[in-house]
Amino acid sequence: MRRFFVETRQLSGDTPVISGDDAGHIRNVLRLKPGDIIELIDGAGSECEARIDRMESGKVHVSVIRRRTQASEPHPRLIIAQALLKDNKADEIIRQITELGVQRWIPYSAQRSVPVLNAKRITSRKERWRKIAIEALKQCQRSRLLEISDPMTFQEMLNFGASCDVRLIFWEDESPSRPFEIPSPEKRRIQSVMAILGPEGGFTPEEVAAARACGFITVSLGPRILKADTATLAVSTLLQYGFGDMRPFDL
């Protein structure tokens, strides 16, 4: 069944209206017609089956047939803090970590970060990132949208993670003999895990020291030096395997 995103205020009513690109996609690409059944999600856990009633220019009117609310996503809550990257590298990161079930993404400025975002660029980037997260949400069958924070300073990001049960900073200069390890079963009952990844130029010694002072543990991804966006994908997968819903239950 085809899935489409609508805002919560729309989904709360009995006759939501789909507009924008999705309306055009329904009408001109998928060639759906009145009477066809589709699925609607709002990114906050609410889903419903709906029947297309009528179409007009730029709008598709539907009627809700059946509602359901998805349970909260499995614990722990997985948080990725990612240093701002050049160009549009964050776009694919947003898509991938949404598919992998990460629940929050925090962009932050590191000392070696190249991009500097002003208020206007921050707004436009966040709008773009949200659209990408919504498209990935529809594709991967999640019900809750990735939370994208406003860009933070390095210290603000560390302060945000102070309450997380597990705090990790993946550092390319950490010894390969200290890699991320699959936690023992008793450590899987934690509620939140936060991982920090650095910029293309890596962390400064001062940043690593500050993270350690805030309770973050430095770990390695092994002997290879990964590109920043590749490292994010690898870390997200490891966290889901070690703590989340990819973990091996029989270990």
Can you give the pLDDT at residue 179?
65
147 and 207 co-located in one domain? yes
d(CA 123, CA 129): 10
Residue 175: Cβ-neighbour burial (10 angstroms; 0-12, 13-18, 19+): exposed
The range of the structural domain enclosing residue 108 comes to 77-242
> For the chain, how far is it from start to end, CA to CA, in angstroms?
36
Q: How far is CA 26 from CA 32, 83, 143, in A?
A: 6, 37, 20
Does 227 lie in the same domain as 118? yes
Q: In terms of domains, do 11 and 91 share one?
A: no
Does pTM top 0.75 for this prediction? yes
Same domain, 40 and 152: no
Amino acid at 103: Q
Q: With DSSP H G I counted as helix, E B as strand and the rest as coil, what are the percentages for the chain, rounded to 5?
A: 35, 25, 40
Among residues 15, 43, 69, the one where a domain terminates is 69
> Is residue 16 domain-shared with residue 110, that is, in the same domain?
no
For the chain, the domain total comes to: 2
- The answer on 102 and 61 residing in a single domain is no
Query: Minimal CA–CA distance to 118: which of 151, 158, 73?
Result: 151
Query: What are the backbone angles phi and psi of residue 8, rounded to the nearest 5°?
Result: -55, -40
Q: Residue 238 falls within a domain, yes or no? A: yes
Assign residue 20 the CATH number of its domain. 2.40.240.20
- Picking from 69, 103, 123, the residue at the C-terminal end of a domain is 69
Q: What is the pLDDT along the chain (251 residues), one digit of tens a residue?
A: 888 988 888 888 889 999 888 998 998 899 999 999 999 998 888 889 999 999 988 899 999 999 987 655 667 899 999 998 887 888 999 999 999 999 999 999 999 887 676 667 788 888 999 999 999 998 888 888 999 999 999 999 999 999 999 999 998 887 766 667 766 666 557 889 999 999 888 899 999 999 999 999 999 888 888 888 899 999 999 999 888 877 765 54
Q: Please give the structure tokens belonging to residue 71.
A: 């349970």
Q: What is the pLDDT of residue 68?
A: 81
CATH number of the structural domain spanning residue 100: 3.40.1280.10
Considering the domain boundaries, does residue 250 fall inside one? no
